[in-house]
Every structure is written in C-alpha cells, then in structure tokens.
Structure 1
Amino acid sequence: MTATSTETRSVVVERAFPHPAEKVWRALTQPHLIEEWLMKNDFKPVVGERFEMRADWGAVDCRVLVVEPNRTLSYTWAAYGLETVVTWTLTPMGTGTHLRMEQTGFKPDQQQAYHGAQAGWPQFLAKLERVLAGPA
C-alpha cells in the first residue's frame, strides 16, 4: 500500500485505572481538574461548545463533538495548522475503568506534531493518574 496525501495517522494511549468511570469522567470534564493534568482551559461538556486549552507554548482551539457521560468524550484539537480530533472512551472493568485516548487526523507532513503527541499524551495520562489518586 502506498501512502497518499489524504492518509492520516492516529495516536492511541490506553490506561487502566483503579477508579470508577464517574471519577475518571470528572477528571476529563471539570476545568479545575483538567488544568491539573493537561492545561488551563474553559471547557464545558456541551456538544458544540467551543473552548481553549492554554499552555506556555500557546493555545489549542477546541470544539466539543460528543458527550456521553462516563462513556465517551470527543473534541476537535486545533493548533498551529494541526486539525485533529481527540476521543476519550471509558469502559468499566471490575472495580476500575479502562481509558482509551485516540487523537486522529495527523497528516503525513505533520511529523513534529505527531511525534509530540506520541511523547506528550503518555505524560499527560501519568499526571491524570496522580490526579485520580488524590481526593476528588
């Protein structure tokens, strides 16, 4: 199979947390908790709502696409010419939750962003793990 300019790539990171889906969902949707593990933001879990993530290096413009409480959260992720979609999928398992993060839409000429996401998301999820381990 040959690569074409229309092909895109995805970054997928999965983790199992010893916490109920409701607690993981709160960490994904409450602005003060999102700030602790990801970035400053003005997020609201409402489909169609626009929000911004802010970090030292700049800002990410986002728009909420899917909100299924304790199950699925999806939003656009646009910064510096990058236009991707981040989807969080929560699956209850025993006493915990399996969390899958997928960021789709990296174009072939967006190597730096793709590799940045590959390196960055595992670090963000490690921080999320610490937030979940705390009181919430």
Structure 2
Amino acid sequence: MNDKSTDTLSVVTERDISHPPEKIWRALTQPHLIAEWLMKNDFSPVVGRRFDLRADWGTVDCEVLAVEPNKTLSYTWAAHGLESVVTWTLTPTSKGTHLRMEQTGFRPDQKQAYQGAKAGWQQFFTSLEQVLTRAD
C-alpha cells in the first residue's frame, strides 16, 4: 500500500566553494555571520538548542538536531505551516569545500513554500559566498 499523502519533497542546493570547511562552518554557526547571509538569529551550535530566524516576513522556529563540527549541521525549520529539516553537509575538496544543503519535509500541497525555498536558498548561497569572501 502506497500512501501518497506522506510523500514529501526536498530542496537541495549544492555548490563548490573555494574556502576550507572550517571557514564555512563559522559562517554557518556564528550568529553575527548567519545574520549577514541568512537572517537575524539567536543560534548556538548545540544539539537541542531552540533558536529563531527573524526576517521582515516573519519568524522561523528552529531546533538544532545534529552538530558535527566542520562536517554536518542539521536543524528544524518551522514557518507558515511548514515543518521541515535543514541539513548542511561540508565535504573537503582539493580546491576548498563542497557545500550541500538539503531541506526536507515539503508536503505536495506546499508548492509555494517549495518554490520559494528553491529560489531562496540560491540567494542565500550567493550571500553566504559574499560573506566568506569578506570574513577573515
């Protein structure tokens, strides 16, 4: 029996970035840097830590699920009826880092949120790369 109502969609954004994992990790986990590329926040890389991301359009409620320094970061992302999980994976390469972000949990009836996330993460990645270029 295949229950289609449980099928969810994922947004995956991947990029090769010419900075080491340690530097990207800082941009993913330090609140003042997160604020520069994503949103205002009270993030701390501690499993179980609840935090929120604040933007003009509203707030995202989050909880840290997994922290493996310089390798993996995962947290819940709940906003406007969307219950999802964002997972970052950092893989060292010869030229820097392969950065992968996967946001899972979009229901088939959440097309607008899904499309918004697909576009939004591309912009966030571009902003993240700009922060990395400026950050020491």
What TM bracket, shorter-length normalisation?
over 0.9
Q: What is the aligned partner in structure 1 of residue 83 from structure 2?
A: 83
Moved more, 2-11 or 18-27: 2-11
How big is the shift at 1:3?
7.5
Match of 2:61 in 1: 61
Which residue is equivalent to 1:103?
A: 103
Partner of 1:124: 124
Deviations 1:89-111 (A, max 9, x none): 00000140000000000001111
- SS at structure 1 position matched to 2:43: coil
Q: Which ranges of structure 2 fall in alignment gaps of 5 or more residues?
A: none
RMSD: 1.1
1:53 Cα offset (Å): 0.1
Amino-acid identity (%): 72
State the number of aligned residues.
Answer: 135
- Write the distance in 1 (CA, Å) between the matches of 2:135 and 2:63: 29
1:32 CA displacement: 0.2
Q: How does 1:11-30 map to 2 (within 5 A)?
A: 11-30=11-30
CA distance in 2, matches of 1:20, 1:95: 8
How far apart, in 2, do the equivalents of 1:135 and 1:13 lie? 22
Aligned partner letter, 1:12 = V
Write the distance in 2 (CA, Å) between the matches of 1:64 and 1:105. 16
SS of residue in 2 equivalent to 1:109: coil
Deviating above 6 A after TM superposition, structure 1's stretches of 4 or more consecutive aligned residues are none
1:103, 1:115 → 2: CA distance? 12
Give me the TM-score of the superposition, normalised by structure 2: 0.97
The alpha-carbon deviation at position 4 of structure 1 amounts to 1.0
Letter in 2 for 1:18: S
In structure 1, the residue corresponding to 2:59 is in which secondary structure?
A: strand
SS of the residue 1:5 aligns to: helix
Q: 1:64-110 CA deviation, whole Å, 9 max, x = no partner? A: 00000000000000001100000000000014000000000000111
User: Partners of 1:44 and 1:91 in 2: how far apart?
Assistant: 22
